[in-house]
Structure 1
């Protein structure tokens, strides 16, 4: 729990840095746009490749495969669940809500929480669990924001996106055991390690444009309840009937209980889709995830 508290405090400090940079005028609208592009096209792809390169598969392949299949099922469920629950929302909010339902912040919060509760094995299981989410984030998730009705064009944009290219390369490296040259690996690691800082500062910059009086939003509260309570409860119920190892069971439930990912705000800003609303989703769900993660940890 100490690790969870530390992570939450780190997130909000980074958000505060971005908030202040925007408020004091050190970074203007063009600089903010450039930072978003830097995160999406350079830092995030390197972070994804780094994650795949550090996810071992040797040994308990069947054990990992169980977690992978459950994660695939959860992602498919979230795609349809988001469409159903938020179908009556306005188009801009609908896109943010659907993306936030598909893509959580498990990549940042999930790994250290899994390691803190389940040790090294938990970290490996979390890395395996996150493979489908990383793929969905830049396929179905990206398609939510792209807004094009041309399926071929959507597929083309998604498959040529740097994050998807890095996901494909990462999967190849992970399962073949091939290694990139040391200088390339180090460069990817250094850039990828900037992801948390730059992503959360980008969220803070968007937050700086939101009127404090408008921060409370019933729709955001509804999303937070579904993201942090309903979805993990469904996963808990389904996994209870499966012959899963206790650690695998816990990892699947915990990572399903993570808040909205920072990319919700970043992509909303990139595609001009109600980024203030997306930022409220990220901040509000992250804030409330502190007690809910603690509660799910005790239940498990």
Structure 2
């Protein structure tokens, strides 16, 4: 179903039904409204000590993954040009889990998978506006960084969701139904936008040795380095599944946005995003198949 939606988005972009500006508007709509509603909806569950334990475990795993990705990005790409290295480092630190992760986590693992994904993504969103941005420019001041973090719609949604879950309070019925209805658009809208991103690819020029190397690291090595410790430590299968799948997400679209803003090989950054996203259509189902056996 997700694959069909991606193909639909690709066709819509190719035939001109959706242009560049419309795609940008759809992306903003997902990030600023649909995804936050999806996050709030995911927290409307009955709280328990088991859920609290899973939250702590997946948060620790996510923090360790982010630290690992920062170190990895700092040592792997030293032979590349300075500008290209910046794109590769950022794309290693900040994957597309924040955009693509939630619908996949919900589709594969259900409501609880979606809730765990929302917790998992908190450290990545913090890194995106701190270490991630500093890759392209000077490190932001603490005031700027905190403002970016705490005013991000998805972080606000997590805060609201946690309050709803801990207190058991629910918004008025009409508002709850509105949140649920908007949330239900997440998978369709996200996959359509991913298809539109893929439509920008030029098969003749997209293959690049640095892109191939990055894709191998991002989609196979990083999730493998998450899977093995989780398996050896007998981490809960759902927590392990969400952690591995989100660690296996492709380069984030913000890679291209920042590369364009700071004049760091925008064309190369597009190749990173498009090729790794296309490759993830193969590797994500493969990781799902592996996880089903554990």
> What corresponds to 2:145 in structure 1?
154
Distance 1:196 1:261, change over 3 A: farther
Q: How does 1:203-222 map to 2 (within 5 A)?
A: 203-216=194-207, 217-222=212-217
1:261 Cα deviation from its structure 2 partner: 4.5
- The reply to whether residue 94 of structure 1 matches residue 89 of structure 2 is yes
Alignment of 1:101-250 (within 5 A): 106-114=101-109, 124=112, 126-127=113-114, 129-143=116-130, 145-147=132-134, 149-216=140-207, 217-237=212-232, 239-240=233-234, 249-250=236-237
Q: Deviations over 1:106-140 (max 9, x none)?
A: 5333344335xxxxxxx54x355334213234322
**For 2:179 and 2:282, how far apart are their aligned partners in 1?**
30
1:254 matched to 2:205? The reply is no
SS at match of 1:100: coil
Mapped to 1, the partners of 2:72 and 2:277 lie a distance apart of: 18
- In structure 1, distance between residues paired with 2:87 and 2:253: 14
Call closer, same or farther: CA 1:143–1:37 in 2, change over 3 Å.
farther
Q: TM-score, normalised by structure 2?
A: 0.81
Deviation at 1:290, TM superposition (A): 1.7
Root-mean-square deviation (CA, aligned residues, Å) is: 2.5
Shift of 1:97: 1.8
Are 2:62 and 2:243, in contact at CA under 8 Å, matched by a contact in 1?
no
Q: Name the residue aligned to 2:36.
A: 45
Q: 1:69 aligns with which of 56, 59, 67?
A: 56
How many Å apart are 1:78 and its aligned residue?
0.6
Q: Quick check: 2:120–2:243 contact (8 Å CA) kept in 1?
A: no
Q: In the alignment, is the contact (CA less than 8 A) between 1:14 and 1:197 conserved in 2?
A: yes
Q: Distance in 1 between matches of 2:126 and 2:184?
A: 23
Asked if structure 2 preserves the Cα contact closer than 8 Å seen for 1:36 and 1:270, the reply is: no
| Deviation string, structure 1 residues 55-90 (Cα, Å, up to 9, x no partner) | 221xxx332232222111111111111111222431
Q: How many residues align?
A: 269
Kept after mapping to 1: 8 A contact 2:105/2:114 = no
1:56 corresponds to which residue?
Answer: 46
1:144–1:206 distance in 2 versus 1, CA, 3 Å: farther
Alpha-carbon offset, residue 201 of structure 1: 1.3
Structure 1 residue 270 displacement after superposition: 4.9
SS at match of 1:180: coil
